[in-house]
Structures are given as structure tokens and as C-alpha cells.
Chain A
């Protein structure tokens, strides 16, 4: 039952925010998202105490028989914690910016959080699909209305993004319709029990793959990403990169691989190479970007490529580390995009050629930006190292070349990130004044850094939380 309250809180919170006033909207949203964060920690404590029922069922549609099914195991719980940890920070990141029609903006942010949480906990295919698609609507409006740059160009990119991801998702829906025909149910556990032939699995796998490959995104399905990240307001970019793309990655291990294990096993090397190709391609494209946000978008493409490679590698270590890396990536990517927002607030530009010489004026910001930059290149001590080390290790157990080529990320990543940091932050003091971090901004960076370092040094709680879910996935792969 408890998890329902979290969903209700976010949904009602979105309503409350919408009916508040523009001046107070950000604070209302911050209050609600902070309560949601606290509540998800309460859920974790219940989970550890064994008091949290894993499965929840309400009757919903009788014909076809679709229930309102939720499942809150350790993996789903971790995704909720990630979402609700980032949410207050994302909301707080906007507090110092004046938005037109702010109440609608913050209401949409909370609505999106609601839909994403729903996606993570839904255990019935149709319900999951609905949450999945609902999450797309708020970000569409956020990017379209509050985005930056030329309105026409923005509209073109955002509409393209919407149609592209939506079209991809339809293939997943087709997959579910097919599965319903086979199983007479869309309950996750029923689908896990389904014994499909290899060809049938291939069809289902393919349908899901299009949806996820576009959402994550994997190359060559990534063309919407950099443009939308660039056009969307900072909050939108953070929601997209910090949480929404995790919906795709999460679905790979929750829905796609366990339902079509034989197809996954057969396609394993190709899928891993696609992920690794993304790592290399994203890293190289990032080297020569003119806009910081676009650079970071490609960097994100590289990072998620490695996570996908770890998942599709089908090892317990790879899946565990990939989950840890999802968590780490969420924190870091919000951190780096927030750093860009901090710069843009003061200089009204993100063009690398116009930046530089900030370090000389803003020591605190320089340190904060450096910390998230280093976490992004997975320096030991950060949770990102734990994830990346495990991912590369797991790949090496499948094929050493996976980890040699994929491991180039530690060289290329350092190259483009440090180059960016040098161009943006270092050098002779910039002639334009740059005010150092405000209290709110410091708190946001401080919170991110604290979580990044804590789990970098002590990742055991995450391991413990997700171990049963990982074992279930591995069992599903090996029994079929």
C-alpha cells in the first residue's frame, strides 16, 4: 500500500502546485518533492525491516484482464530513491530563476516525476506502458514552452523528439499485445513464466528494443538527444538525463531481457558492441562541441552506452554494476548540467568559445564543478568508479576486447571533460564578473557530492538492496 501514497503525493502535489501562485510554485514543489524524498527513505527502512509488501494488486480492467499491479522490490525501490533524491535538487535548481507561468512548469515537473515513479513500480504491462507514455507529455511541454533558443527550431526539435520516442514506444505496445495473446495476462511474473520460442522471443525483443534504444538512447537512435538537451531548460535536461533515460535502461533488465532471455543470449555480443560503439562514438563527438550542454549530452550518450553494454552482457556483475552506475550517472549528470545552468545564469551563454577564466573569480564554483567533472570521469572514491569498474570488469569476463575498447572511455572521457573544464573555467580571469555560488547553489552541489562520495566509499547498501532482483534476472536468463 505504502508506495501508492508516494504516487498520490506526487500527483496531488502536481495539482497543488498548479493551483498555487507563480511566486510560491517553486517552494510548494520543493516542499512536496522533499517530502517525497523523505517518504522514499521511509519506504527503504520498511523494506529493510521486511514490512513492505512487494506486490500490490487492485482490480482494474476485467476484460481484457488487466490489474493495477505494482511491484516494489529492491531494484524498483532504488529507482524511486534515485528519482526522489534528484527531484528536490532539480526543483531547487530553478528557485533562483524567474519563469513565466512557473506554477505550470513545476506542476509538470512533479507530474513527470509521478509518471516516472509509476513506470519504475508498475508490474503490469499495460499500466507500465501508460506510465511510460504519460512521462513523455510533461517533458514535451517543458522543453517546448520553457526551452531556449529560436522558437521555431526548438519546436521542430522537440516535436521530432516526441514523435520519435512515441513511435518507438508503439513497437513495445505491439509487443505487449502479442504477449497478452500468448499469456492471457500482462502481469510481469506471468510474462516471466511464459515459454516463448526463440523466434517469438526475437519479435518481442525487437519491439522492446526500438522503444528502449530510442529512449536510452543507443546509437544510432540518439539523434534527438543532443538537440533536445540543448534546447530544453536546465530542469528539463536534468529530468531527461538524470531520470528519464534510466526508464529505458531499467526496462531492459526488468522487462526485455527476462521476457526474451534466449534472444538476449543469442544477440549478446552484438548488443554489447552497440553499447560500446556508443561509448566510443559519444566520447569522440564530445571532443569537438561548441556548446557545453551538447558536449555533456554526448558524454551522457557514452556513459549510458557502457551501462547498456553491461546489462546486455548478461552477467550478474554487469547488471549489478550497471544499476549502480545508473544511480551514479543520475547524480553526476544533474551535477554537470546544473553547473552549466550556473554559468548560463551569469553569462547568458553556453558557447565554449565565449567562456574561460571563471576559476579566477569563483573558487567555490570551480571546486564544485571540478568534483562533478571528476565523478563523471569515474575517479575512485566516487560512486561512478564503483559502477564503471564493475561494468568494465564484467565485460572483461565475457571478452577482454569488450573491456579494452569500452575502457577507452577512461582515456577519452578524461580528454573531453578536462578539455572542457580547462576551456570553460581556467585561464586568465574573465573580464565579465562572475559571482560565486549562492547558498542554494552550494547546497545543491554539496548534496550531490555527499551522495556521490558516500556510495563511492560504501556502496554496500546499494548492493544489498538490489541483490535479490539481480539474482531473479540471472535465474530467469539461465533457466529458460
Chain B
């Protein structure tokens, strides 16, 4: 591997961050945005070079220097650019470049424009570290680093304390997962004596069967908890919908396309460990499929356009975890990539809508926008069809493979995942119909400002929509480029029977397609034929209300975790601290009191002294006498 390319790939975003942080204000918006975008484009070009120069069997590691030293293992600051890393890097830097470009226009009026680009650059830097590190602690640097950037960008408009709350919640909730990840790392270090991916793989291939399987299961479970935090799975998903407080390009890049896929990346990276613990794989599949359905139901009743997309992301991530759980890593990766295309496009499209609509995010105050914003409409439509799984768009292929794998693993999983997919088709077209069809329902003022977004915003939309349409080509059944590409890492050569299209596969495809069409059709009946518009929040009742209120999970966490711990804090502060303080003071008081009493004896009276002396003398003499 060419070290200079690797360093350029890593350091360009860091350089962009530093330049924008220290000089951004002086540079002005034009230069600041250009530098920020260029930094990511450079990384993208470097990734392409590495990708094209990748030779099978070549050494992909680059050791920089020694980092941490422990008795039984040490950790190097080193990176590896193999198939998995490069795949992730391609879409992180590729989509990253597009979103930077888009942001130049989207954030143009913001006074902290340069800060935005510096944070966004820093995010990409940490994301690169996360996916290209060659051991778990380096991954952890990236892991927490992207969490930090997520925190900074969710709370980007820091004047609003509600946004700051959302940012804080994201960080803390992620840290719950991070603790799991850390414990998992510790166990692996103790068990295997290395944290290097290659070292771990060799260890598990040769000695994996000798290790106590309980420890392996615990390690895998802990790592998975980490993945749940970062990739917003049950029960640690509640931060992601709140994270929509951040500017929309952030939602597209961090909270849809890249950062939230880190959990899937990590599990895929450590597939050799998860393969050894079927029980935990089963847990992953159950959590994944439950999240997919759970989040999809909430998505049915949201009226904020970004919230719908957020729950959709949670749901889609659930499907990816389902694929991981059933051991179909390459399928999960496939869906990560297609999802990155169509979901980034959807978020940027939503941003375009919000931008045009005087920052209104409530779909009840939209409608009829397809006439004013044709490009946004067409690109979002393509992406919605893709996410709904309509042939032959990218989502059809990747989702279909997940359903197929799930079907072979367990039919109930397949059924639940299919239901989630039907719901997806419904709520996505609910979103499309409410936003782009019918009459405009906003204020007159907003109506007069409606406009299609400028080219800097629509070009990324068009590119992403194109990818959302044709991205499925990288892994069509029968000739999967993706699978061959990942084969050296995942050793999937034993699995191609799923890819040969048999009768079951065709039937499942048909069922999925009909399901998606049914979902779209129901949405059409409701929102086009019957012209329904969701009611005011106060009018919502029954189960819809429960869905709109997200099953009251936030309230539950608040009363089970947040409130008790704050009560405890008050108790400690007001009662325990005071009691301990008085105890120490009591010792001092007691000492003072004893000496005070003692002082009374020394009153200068010779008679008393003589009296005590005589008694003491008698006592000593009698003691000596008795002792004999």
C-alpha cells in the first residue's frame, strides 16, 4: 500500500477541519465551503486509487507507530485498507463529498457556516479512522470521534436548549453502548491476547474452539450492545429520532448513510467471532427484526418529515441486523450501501423541501410541491420506490436478499420483516403524497416563497437518485460482484446456493413486490383518493396516539433511569454528604469535649492532686502485691 496516499486520505479531512476551525472566519463562506468540500473529494479520489489498485492477497496494512502497551498485548496506530474498509470508504467519502457540496448552498445563510464545515470534515476524518483502523482500539477512536461530531452537529444551533438536549441524549445513550463495546474489547484482549483484526481472526480460527464459549458469547453480546447504541437498535434507539434536531445535511450524512452503519461494520469486521456463537447471532436477528417492525409502526404516525425518515432509518438498520444475525454478512453490507444511496437522497430531498418551505417540517403544512419542485420530487420518488422495494431499483435487490436469507433461517423472521417492508412502502408514500400531491396547506407567506432548490443542491440529489436506481447492480442474484469482492474476507464461498434463483426465490420476490404495491396502494387510497390529512396532535386518539407518542418509550426511560438517578443524586447531596460531614465534625467535637473534661481535673488544687496520687499509689501497690 502506498503510504503517501493513505496519509493523504486520512489527513485531508483533518486538514480541512483545522483550516476551517482556525481560519474559517477570515476565509469567508466561499473559500470555507470550497476547502471543506475539496478535503473530502481528495479523500474520495485517494479511496478510488486504493480501490483500483487493490490486488488480491496483497498486504493491506499500514503501521504508523506504537500506541498502547500492556503486559499481554499492545496496540499499534495502524490502518488497513482491505475490501471491507474500502467499500465503506467509497460511500463515506463519495456521499460525503456530495453532502458537503449540498451544504454549501443549504447552510449559506448560517452565521456559523465555517464551523459547520469544520465539524463535518472532522466527522469524515473520524469515520475514516473508524472503518480503516486495523484493530479495535483504533476503531474505538473513530467510534467515539463520530459520536462527538454527532453531538456537535445535532446541537449545532446551540441557542436552542431542546436541540442541546437532543445532542446530549445522543452522546450519553451512545456511551451506554460504548461501555458494552469496551467490555467486549477487554474480554477479547484477555482471551485472545490481541486486538488486531488479523490476529483475532487467526486466533479464533486456530484456537477458537479451546476458549470457554461463555466468554465468547459474553464478548459478542457486549460488542453487539455497542452496535445497538451506534446503530440505533432496540433498546438504545431513542436518540436517533431526536438527532433530527441537527441541520438536514447532517441527518443525511451522519444519521442515515454513514455513522449509524458503524455497528453493522463492526459486526461484519468481527464475523469470525459471531460465527462461533449462534446464540448471540440469534439475539442479533431477533433484535434486528423487532427493531425493524417496531420503528416502522412508529413511522406510520409521524407528521414531521424528518421524523418519518428517522424511524425509517431505524427500521432499515434493523433489517440489516437481521441479515447479520442470520449470518448473511454480505447481504447486510449490500443493504448498507443501497440504503446509503436512497436514504441520503431522501434526507437531502427533505432538506430541499424544508428549505423551500420556510423551514417548515410538518407534512400537514405541505402538499402539492411536485409542481414547484420537480427535480426534488422526481429524485425523492425514485428513492421512495427504491426503499419500498420496487423492481428493478436498488432497494428491491438488497431487501429481497435479506428476506430470502431470513426465510431460509426462520419463517417467522421472514414474516415480520415482510410486514415491516409493507409498512415501509406505506409510510414512505404517505410522506410522498402528503408532501408533493394535493393542494398546498401552508401559509400564504410560505406559499409565495416556494421554489426549486439551486443547482448545488439538486445535483447531489440527481446523482444519489441515479445510484438509488441502479446501485442494485453490484449484487444481482446469480452474478454478485459484491460477494466476489468480499469473498477473501468473509469466505462466503460456501453460500452461493442462496443466490441461484430457485422457485422459492421467485415466489418470495413476487410476494415482496405485491406487498410493497399494496402498501403504496393503501397510501394512495387514503391520501390521494380520500384526500386525508393527519389531524392535529390533540385530535389523535387510540392506538394512533400511542404510535404518535412513540409507545411512550422516552417517558419510560425517563421514569426508570433519569428520574431515579437524579433523586439519588439529591439524596446523596442533601443527606449522605451532610451526615458524613457531621460525622467527621463529630470526631473533632468529641476530641475537644474530652480535653475539656480533662482540663477540669487540672484545677490547681493541691488537695485533689494528693488525693488522686494516694489512690493511684494504693492501686499500683495492691496490683503488684496481687500479681505476685
Contact = CB atoms under 8 A, between A and B. Distances in A.
A429 B111 CA distance: 14
Given A381-B141, A392-B186, A414-B175, A285 B569 contact: yes
A317 B66 CA distance: 16
B584 interface: yes
Contacts of A374: 148
Given A380-B145, A418-B172, A426-B161, A386 B68 contact: yes
A392 B175 contact: no
A375 to B, nearest CB: 12
B425 to A, nearest CB: 38
A287 B565 contact: yes
Contacts of A415: 172
Contacts of A173: none
A414 to B, nearest CB: 5
B577 A160 contact: no
A164 interface: yes
A233 B161 CA distance: 32
B183 A411 contact: no
Nearest to B144: A380
B186 A360 contact: no
Interface string A291-335: 000000000000000000000000111001000000000000000
Interface in B163-179: 164-165, 168, 171-172, 175-176, 178-179
Given A403-B183, A411-B176, A418-B172, A393 B70 contact: yes
Instruction: Find the residue from A360, A380, A386, A396 having the highest chain B CB count within 10 A.
Output: A380
B144 to A, nearest CB: 5
B116 to A, nearest CB: 13
Contacts of B168: 418-419, 422
A400 interface: yes
A220 B580 contact: yes
Taking chain A's interface residues, is the majority helix, strand, or loop, or is none over half, making it mixed? helix
B585 interface: yes
B182 A223 contact: no
Contact of A393 (B66, B178, B186, B577): B186
A404 interface: yes
B183 A407 contact: yes
Interface stretch (A42-50, A85-93, A457-465): A457-465
B180 to A, nearest CB: 9
Given A380-B144, A389-B68, A408 B569 contact: no
Given A360-B159, A422-B164, A403 B71 contact: no
A56 interface: no
How big is chain A's contact interface, by range? 35 or more
B155 A426 contact: yes
A289 interface: yes
A74 to B, nearest CB: 14
B164 A460 contact: no
Given A289-B573, A426-B161, A426-B164, A317 B186 contact: no
B161 A407 contact: no
A160 B588 contact: yes
A359 interface: yes
A223 B573 contact: no
A285 B578 CA distance: 12
Instruction: Find the residue from B65, B164, B178 having the highest chain A CB count within 10 A.
Output: B164
Contact of A160 (B71, B569, B570, B584): B584
A346 interface: no
Taking chain B's interface residues, is the majority helix, strand, or loop, or is none over half, making it mixed? helix
Given A164-B584, A379-B144, A381-B141, A390 B569 contact: no
Contacts of B175: 410-411, 414
B573 A285 contact: yes
A288 B569 contact: yes
Contact of B66 (A286, A392, A460): A460
Interface in A354-412: 357, 359-360, 367, 374, 379-381, 386, 389-390, 392-394, 396-397, 400, 403-404, 407-408, 410-411
Contacts of A427: 158-159, 161, 164
B179 A223 contact: no
Interface in A419-437: 419, 422, 426-429
A403 B565 contact: no
Contacts of A226: 577
A381 B145 CA distance: 9
Interface in B521-572: 565-566, 568-570, 572
B179 A422 contact: no
A400 to B, nearest CB: 7
Nearest to B148: A379
Contact of A281 (B185, B190, B565, B572): B572
How big is chain B's contact interface, by range? 35 or more
Contacts of B140: 380
A393 B189 contact: yes
A288 B159 contact: no
B137 interface: yes
Contacts of A220: 580
A439 interface: no
B570 A288 contact: yes
A477 interface: no
A428 to B, nearest CB: 5
A422 B154 CA distance: 13
B182 A407 contact: yes
A390 B68 contact: yes
A317 B569 contact: no
Contacts of A381: 141, 145
A284 interface: yes
Contacts of B151: 418
A325 B182 CA distance: 18
Contact of B183 (A160, A164, A390, A396): A396
Contacts of A386: 68
Nearest to A227: B581
A295 B137 CA distance: 30
Contacts of B145: 379-381
Nearest to B75: A389
A163 interface: yes
Nearest to B582: A223
Contact of B572 (A284, A316, A419, A429): A284
A415 B174 CA distance: 11
B51 interface: no
Given A223-B584, A281-B572, A422-B164, A360 B158 contact: yes
A367 B122 CA distance: 14
B187 interface: yes
Nearest to B159: A428
A380 B129 CA distance: 12
Interface in B183-199: 183, 185-187, 189-190
B77 interface: yes
Contacts of B155: 426
A163 B573 CA distance: 23
Contacts of A286: 569
Interface string A265-293: 00000000000000001001111110000
B182 A392 contact: yes
B64 to A, nearest CB: 10
Contact of A411 (B66, B172, B573, B583): B172
B67 interface: yes
Contact of A389 (B159, B171, B182, B580): B182
B187 A458 contact: no
Given A316-B71, A411-B172, 11 more contacts: A284-B569, A320-B69, A379-B145, A393-B189, A403-B186, A404-B179, A407-B182, A414-B175, A418-B168, A427-B161, A457-B77
10 closest residue pairs by CB, A with B: A396-B186, A287-B569, A380-B141, A288-B569, A426-B158, A223-B581, A285-B572, A418-B168, A411-B175, A407-B179
24 contacts: A164-B588, A284-B568, A285-B577, A287-B565, A287-B569, A288-B570, A289-B573, A380-B137, A380-B140, A390-B70, A392-B186, A393-B70, A393-B189, A396-B183, A397-B186, A400-B183, A410-B179, A414-B175, A418-B168, A418-B171, A428-B159, A457-B77, A459-B67, A463-B69
